[in-house]
């Protein structure tokens, strides 16, 4: 049985009819991070998946920053790993610098990040896909969907541009930035979602015929420079952690990290940089009005930063290697779509980059996405049975957000075909649950990125306890095997026994080591150095970390759990499908409009819809209860033997 949903049951679609012509259970369109996790999840649940991609040699391509994790994102990777996904394993095998961010802050906001070798990452991702029993990697461009049925057309497969037809009971679209994609650099414009690759024009037109509400977004990428042309002595060197922590809970610490570790570097823009950009900002395709899509506010282009933060006299530039065997340097912080000449001029004003040789200039990509309020919490389109969406097609950005959605969509496509309850995570259970809930309740007006601040229960949803939170749910859902659950149970037993030992050892007649550990300035490593305990010699690092967090934050965690329990009744109160929001007098105009658009499944979800105020929710609760009683009375009167009026 899967994780309990915070929404009402989502088997709104008819039970799928098995297609006798189908070789595959599910077809996944797109070989990026979402597509990989979707296909692997389908296979883990016992169905055969076809992973269709433009170029089978570019599966798992890191189109932008060659890094995995980060604030909010690292938590997602740990959760993907706990649910049986591959991203954490691949990152551990191919990472060339590992850091735990925010170590000086509370446990709730710490997050792992690694700089990856983008070529090794792609090779390892491709190897994992090819080696997985139940996944077929198919090269080709998807031209259209195969739809059957008159009143409610069901998706039955895809047609490729070369005329081939692939049939299946469900299709997952993970098309990234490739739907009607346009690349911009100054006045230059070309078709494509990534340098050297095509745009999914036919599929974009086909999706438009489904009557879906679409939007347009924009993302960008910085120049790539030749390492040998840079002066690293003029920059600040940044190494990873001396004792790095892997992403995957299954990675063997003795052989980690597998790759040589290298530094990144930090430098800054300056007044000369800003002047060149200001003098030429009118040449930006965004400023000139050639781009209609909205870009990410949290990760703007360098020209956006100069305009929006005019009071800042400098901005950080992270100089990051793309791999061990390549001279390519990714210049993080100067994403731009200005003309090539302007890019070269302003980049060469930055300390250390004065003699930079350009291997690739920056550019912007504009693409279509589907407004995600049209999805349910299983990432299925409500109006088109058998069609699931994951990744940037849902208005998100980032490899981690895409991979997490791919896993959820893959699991739910398989479960829908098998006529099983959907696998849905609540906001109190996972960052993944927060993200999906955010998407389906508030369609993004800019590319959505996960931040720890989005998770109201983030102290419960730490990166260190993702396996303890989610492996039992994943085992119930069939996404992981018994071995993963046994590993968690052994960990819990170690934690329990370590806690008992510390409780029985005393620093003074009235204070145990466990009590002493509650003090903010005391950490478990120094405590055991000062007061050695023979039974705890060689204590597992993760057990020590989990215990210290549990002890120090015990009171806060308890209060947050109490809050979750208080919210549970409202969160799980379903809104009957028969309720017509238009008939509720007293609802604000905006609230009525948004509720009609989003169609939230529960009172808790209604309260998170943008434009719906607490008084609106209170009024809605009254009408929900009234309708519930009416429906209950009607059911009673329709029951044979019920008393007649």
Q: What is the pTM of this model?
A: 0.89
Please choose, from the candidates 112, 74, 116, the residue with its C-alpha nearest in 3D space to the C-alpha of residue 91.
116
The answer on 337 and 297 residing in a single domain is: yes
For residue 107, being part of any structural domain is answered with no
Cross-strand bridge partners of residue 220: 364
What is the DSSP code string of 461-484?
Answer: S-GGGHHHHHHHHHHHHTSS-HHH
The answer on 275 and 173 residing in a single domain is: no
The answer on 155 and 41 residing in a single domain is: yes
Encode pLDDT of 157-178 as tens digits: 999 999 999 999 999 999 988 8
The answer on 372 and 324 residing in a single domain is: no
The answer on 515 and 425 residing in a single domain is: no
What is the domain extent for residue 347? 224-364
Please choose, from the candidates 122, 105, 103, the residue with its C-alpha nearest in 3D space to the C-alpha of residue 113.
103
Task: Specify the residue for token string 């570790």.
Answer: 261
The answer on 317 and 244 residing in a single domain is: yes
For residue 82, being part of any structural domain is answered with no
Whether the CB-CB separation of 470 and 82 falls below 8 Å is answered with yes
pLDDT for residue 420 is more than 80: yes
Write down which residue in 304, 332, 364 finishes a domain: 364
Please choose, from the candidates 580, 609, 313, 301, the residue with its C-alpha nearest in 3D space to the C-alpha of residue 443.
609
Kindly calculate the radius of gyration of the chain based on its CA atoms and give it in whole angstroms.
26
The answer on 359 and 280 residing in a single domain is: yes
CA distance 6 to 602: 8
For residue 90, being part of any structural domain is answered with no
At 165 the three-state DSSP class reads strand
Encode pLDDT of 298-351 as tens digits: 568 898 888 888 889 999 999 999 999 999 999 999 999 999 999 999 999 999
With bands split at pLDDT 50, 70 and 90, how would you rate the model's confidence at 3? very low
**Sign of the four-CA dihedral 25, 28, 31, 34:** negative
Q: What pLDDT does 288 receive?
A: 63
CATH of the domain at 448: 3.50.50.60
The number of beta carbons lying within 10 Å of the beta carbon of residue 525 is 13
286 against 271, higher pLDDT: 271
The answer on 514 and 610 residing in a single domain is: no
Structure letter (DSSP) for residue 640:
T
The answer on 372 and 465 residing in a single domain is: yes
CA distance 169 to 121: 31
For residue 81, being part of any structural domain is answered with no
With bands split at pLDDT 50, 70 and 90, how would you rate the model's confidence at 155? very high
CATH of the domain at 597: 1.10.150.570
CA distance 585 to 33: 46
Kindly give the interhelix angle for 271-280 and 340-347, rounded to the nearest 10 degrees: 170
* Average pLDDT score over residue span 605-616: 82
For residue 3, being part of any structural domain is answered with no
Write down which residue in 562, 585, 618 finishes a domain: 562
With bands split at pLDDT 50, 70 and 90, how would you rate the model's confidence at 93? very high
For residue 488, being part of any structural domain is answered with no
CATH of the domain at 532: 1.10.10.1800
What is the DSSP code string of 429-442?
Answer: T-HHHHHHHHHHHS
The answer on 346 and 240 residing in a single domain is: yes
Backbone dihedral angles phi then psi of residue 591, each to the nearest 5 degrees:
-60, -45
Tokens of 446: 């800019």
What is the DSSP code string of 216-244?
Answer: EEEEEE--EEEGGG--GGGSEEE---SS-
* Average pLDDT score over residue span 284-294: 69
Task: Specify the residue for token string 């990777």.
Answer: 77
With bands split at pLDDT 50, 70 and 90, how would you rate the model's confidence at 90? very high
The answer on 393 and 348 residing in a single domain is: no
Q: Looking at 15-24, 328-337, 576-585, which range is the least confident one?
A: 15-24
For residue 489, being part of any structural domain is answered with no
Please give the share of the chain, as a percent, with pLDDT higher than 90.
Answer: 61
CATH of the domain at 291: 2.40.30.260
Torsion of CA 554, 560, 561, 563, to 10 degrees: 150
pLDDT for residue 226 is more than 50: yes
The answer on 229 and 212 residing in a single domain is: no
Q: Looking at 11-25, 418-432, 440-454, 586-600, which range is the least confident one?
A: 11-25
Whether the CB-CB separation of 220 and 300 falls below 8 Å is answered with no
CA distance 103 to 548: 14
**Total number of domains in the chain:** 4
Backbone dihedral angles phi then psi of residue 556, each to the nearest 5 degrees:
-65, -40
For residue 235, being part of any structural domain is answered with yes
Write down which residue in 364, 391, 423 finishes a domain: 364
pLDDT for residue 525 is more than 80: yes
């Amino acid at each position: 049985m899967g994780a309990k949903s915070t929404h009402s049951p989502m088997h709104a679609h008819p039970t799928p009819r098995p297609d006798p012509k189908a070789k595959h259970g599910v077809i996944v369109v797109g070989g990026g991070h979402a597509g990989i996790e979707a296909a692997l999840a389908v296979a883990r649940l016992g169905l055969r998946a076809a992973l269709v991609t433009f170029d089978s040699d570019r599966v798992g391509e890191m189109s932008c920053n060659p890094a995995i994790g980060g604030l909010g994102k690292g938590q997602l990777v740990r959760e993907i790993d706990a649910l049986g996904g591959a991203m954490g394993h691949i990152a551990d095998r191919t990472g060339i610098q590992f850091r735990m961010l925010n170590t000086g802050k509370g446990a709730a906001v710490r997050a792992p990040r690694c700089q990856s070798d983008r070529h090794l990452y792609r090779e390892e991702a491709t190897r994992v896909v090819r080696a997985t029993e139940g996944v077929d990697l198919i090269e080709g461009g998807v031209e259209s969907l195969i739809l059957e049925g008159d009143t409610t057309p069901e998706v039955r497969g895809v047609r490729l541009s070369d005329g081939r037809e692939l049939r299946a009971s469900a299709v997952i679209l993970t098309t990234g930035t490739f739907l009607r994609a346009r690349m911009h650099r100054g006045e230059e414009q070309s078709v494509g979602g990534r340098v050297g690759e095509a745009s999914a024009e036919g599929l974009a037109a086909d999706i438009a015929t489904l009557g879906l509400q679409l939007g347009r977004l924009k993302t960008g990428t910085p120049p790539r420079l030749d390492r040998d042309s840079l002066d690293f002595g003029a920059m600040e060197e940044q190494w990873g952690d001396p004792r790095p922590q892997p992403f995957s809970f299954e990675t063997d610490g003795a052989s980690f990290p597998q790759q040589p570790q290298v530094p990144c570097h930090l430098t800054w823009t300056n007044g000369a940089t800003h002047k060149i950009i200001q003098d030429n900002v009118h040449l930006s395709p965004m400023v000139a009005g050639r781009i209609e899509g909205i870009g990410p506010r949290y990760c703007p282009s360098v020209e956006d930063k100069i305009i929006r933060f005019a009071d800042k006299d400098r901005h950080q530039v992270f100089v990051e290697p793309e791999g061990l065997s390549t001279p390519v340097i990714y210049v993080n912080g100067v994403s731009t779509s200005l003309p090539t000449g302007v890019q070269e001029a302003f980049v060469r004003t930055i300390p250390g980059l004065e003699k930079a040789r350009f291997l690739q200039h920056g550019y912007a990509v504009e693409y279509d996405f589907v407004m995600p309020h049209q999805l349910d919490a299983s990432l299925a389109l409500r109006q088109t049975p058998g069609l699931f969406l994951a990744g940037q097609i849902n208005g998100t950005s980032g490899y981690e957000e895409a991979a997490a959605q791919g896993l959820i969509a893959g699991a739910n496509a398989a479960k829908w075909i098998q006529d099983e309850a959907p696998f849905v995570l609540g906001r109190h259970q996972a960052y993944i649950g927060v993200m999906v809930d955010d998407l389906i309740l508030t369609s993004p007006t800019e590319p959505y990125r996960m931040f720890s601040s989005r998770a109201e229960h983030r102290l419960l949803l730490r990166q260190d306890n993702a396996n303890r939170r989610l492996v039992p749910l994943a085992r119930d859902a069939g996404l992981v095997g018994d071995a993963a659950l046994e590993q968690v149970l052994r960990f819990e037993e170690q934690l329990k026994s370590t806690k008992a030992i510390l409780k029985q050892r005393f620093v003074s007649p009235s204070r145990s080591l466990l009590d002493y550990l509650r003090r903010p300035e005391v950490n478990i490593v120094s405590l055991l150095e000062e007061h050695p305990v023979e039974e705890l010699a060689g204590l597992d690092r993760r057990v020590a970390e989990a215990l210290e967090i549990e002890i120090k934050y015990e009171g806060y965690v308890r209060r947050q759990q109490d809050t979750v329990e208080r919210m549970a009744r409202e969160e799980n109160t379903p809104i009957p499908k028969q309720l017509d929001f238009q008939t509720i007098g007293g609802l604000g105009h905006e609230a009525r409009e948004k509720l009609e658009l989003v169609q939230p499944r529960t009172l808790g979800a209604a309260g998170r819809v943008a434009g719906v105020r607490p008084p609106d929710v209170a009024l809605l609760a009254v009408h929900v209860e009234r309708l519930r009683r009416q429906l209950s009375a009607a059911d009673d009167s329709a029951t044979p033997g019920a008393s007649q009026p």
